[in-house]
Structure 1
Amino acid sequence: MTLNVWNSQGDSGARGAVINAGLRRLDPDLVALQEVLWEPGGGQLGELVAGTGLRGTHQAEVTAGVAPGADRYGGNAIATRWPHRIVETLDLRGVGAPDVPWETLAALVELPGVGEVLFLAPTTAFRMEAEGEREREVLALTDLDARHRTALPTVIAGDFNAAPDAASLRYLTGRQSLAGRGVQYHDAWEIAGDGPGYTWSDENPNAAQDIEYLVRQPRHRRRIDYVLVGSPYAHPKAYARVRSAVLAFDTPSGDIWASDHFGVVVDLDIGMLD
């Protein structure tokens, strides 16, 4: 599962309670969370996963120093049903986006009876005109995968701030090369989702203000949050079959919208071939 939790904007206390209730109901095993604020002792991450049985790690726990803007925009976090260990963090910031403090987390998670899987939780540059930055970032992301991947297919979940037809996503899904390089991951929504799967939409009142600021056009909606899984090319002895893909937090609870993004929840059947 992936969800951008929108730091502390809006009524963050009420929104956090809605997200926590949703996590309890959905009962996910691997969760990527973006724009999570951090305080010693857990802060927002601890509140979001309280009572869920999930083990959480925020980037601030495993990186040196605090990136500029972290107090406002938060950072990336993961939460897993089973123990995990962070094997690397990757700072994707470029000179054109020095105030975006989101670091990619690479974690190995032990799936009971199956083996270790690499779980990557990225966020890429948010500006509409930053596709050049995103191209550089996804190249670094796939290098990160190559350094740590296991026999089981890698799972990548996060906010890519780009639609499926953007060069960064076309590269990740094997539709084009970047810098003479090619990879291929399966886009879970493309395989099993129903409908366009928009995750950032002006139909969500929490997103409307930023959409007006960044886009300034009516009826703007895009699919920018993804769950991707490694292909047989990189994992010839294993599989990660996508059984379902649905949106989460895409309707209000009472009058509370959980975030400015909708989440994506994917059911995977992961294992080794006989």
Structure 2
Amino acid sequence: MRLRILTINVQNDQGDPRRLDLLNRELRRIDPDVVALQEVISAGPRQQLDALLAGTALTGTHQAQAMAYTPPFADRYGGSAVASRWPHHVVEVLDLRLAGATDVPWCTLAVSIPLPGEGEVLFIGATASWRLDAEDARERQAVALTDLDARHRRALPTIIAGDFNAAPEAASIRYLTGQQSIGGRSVCYHDAWAVAGSGPGYTWTVDNPNARSVIGQIVGQPAHRRRIDYVFLGSRHAHPSAHCQVQGAALAFDQPGDGIWPSDHYGVVVDVEIGKDA
């Protein structure tokens, strides 16, 4: 079956309040089947997920709905959420506040989604530590993420999507894509953009006015552009009796609407053909 996957960091509720409506309009236009959302506010009356998904065919879960506690800074920077066309159930929430990354309020959500006629797929919405000098933490987070997959893996290839705060040449991404080991461990997932994307696919760039000032504060360099948002797909090594073939990968939320930019990140939308092998 054809499946459309989307990931987007919605930049909590900073900036122009009209961004939320623009994000919702684009979600309805793109019409994805499964979505990973980052920096979604869920605090008191500020319930962004409901507004983001209004009028879509998607059912959503915010990490706050699946956790018994609220990580520090979540009221300001939000948390992770996932949404799907078919009702899903949460199998685990992973708090990745590790040593060197204690200021990360975004937890990882793993949900099982029944795909009609194909069976269940494990979908993981993830975010890694954001600091430029925190690659050691991102490496450990990447290993924890793959351990999470191993605990709940289905026959259909696992889908992992989110904001990884690391470029393709970083150790954490190289580990995920089978290009290097970490601590004697190795795995292999397909980076959908590397398979079917066109161009560099930058998702956090000074070309986006919403990102320019943040990049200035964090990076301090005038021409910073990186691809840090990904869709990863489980390989045949872990799923020998199923397939998940990338049909296309494109940027999303990368243009202004009515003069408003949707977020400080661009999203990634990926079309795949997924199913059990005959």
TM-score (ref. length: structure 1): 0.98
Counterpart of 2:264? 260
Counterpart of 1:7? 12
Aligned equivalents of 2:64 and 2:172: distance in 1? Answer: 26
Pairs within 5 Å for 1:1-274: 1-11=6-16, 13-39=17-43, 43-274=47-278
Tell whether the 8 Å contact from 1:73 to 1:100 is kept in structure 2 after alignment. Answer: no
Task: Kindly tell me the number of residue pairs found equivalent between the two proteins.
Answer: 273
Tell whether the 8 Å contact from 2:99 to 2:137 is kept in structure 1 after alignment. Answer: no
Unaligned runs of 5+ in 2: 1-5
Aligned equivalents of 1:39 and 1:27: distance in 2? Answer: 27
Give the alignment's Cα RMSD to 1 decimal: 1.0
Q: Deviation per CA, 1:18-53, whole angstroms, max 9, x where unpaired?
A: 110001101000000000000358810000000101
Counterpart of 2:3? none
Aligned equivalents of 2:136 and 2:115: distance in 1? Answer: 36
Tell whether the 8 Å contact from 2:95 to 2:108 is kept in structure 1 after alignment. Answer: yes
Unaligned runs of 5+ in 1: none
Give the drift of 1:209: 1.1
Aligned equivalents of 2:43 and 2:56: distance in 1? Answer: 20
Residue identity opposite 2:213 in structure 1: Q
Q: Percent identity?
A: 61
Aligned equivalents of 1:107 and 1:40: distance in 2? Answer: 24
Give the drift of 1:95: 3.0
TM-score (ref. length: structure 2): 0.97
Q: Equivalent residue of 1:139, what SS? A: helix
Q: Deviation per CA, 1:64-85, whole angstroms, max 9, x where unpaired?
A: 1111101111000001000100
Aligned equivalents of 2:215 and 2:63: distance in 1? Answer: 27
Aligned equivalents of 1:116 and 1:212: distance in 2? Answer: 43
Tell whether the 8 Å contact from 2:155 to 2:242 is kept in structure 1 after alignment. Answer: yes
**Measured at CA, do residues 110 and 94 of structure 1 come closer, stay the same or move farther in structure 2, by a change above 3 Å?**
same
Greater shift after overlay, 95-104 or 204-213?
A: 95-104
Aligned equivalents of 1:98 and 1:148: distance in 2? Answer: 25
Q: Equivalent residue of 2:48, what SS? A: helix
**Measured at CA, do residues 42 and 269 of structure 1 come closer, stay the same or move farther in structure 2, by a change above 3 Å?**
farther
Aligned equivalents of 2:188 and 2:101: distance in 1? Answer: 27
Give the drift of 1:144: 0.1
**Measured at CA, do residues 40 and 62 of structure 1 come closer, stay the same or move farther in structure 2, by a change above 3 Å?**
farther
Aligned equivalents of 1:258 and 1:158: distance in 2? Answer: 17
Give the drift of 1:252: 0.6
Greater shift after overlay, 210-219 or 28-37?
A: 210-219
Give the drift of 1:124: 0.2
**Measured at CA, do residues 42 and 211 of structure 1 come closer, stay the same or move farther in structure 2, by a change above 3 Å?**
closer
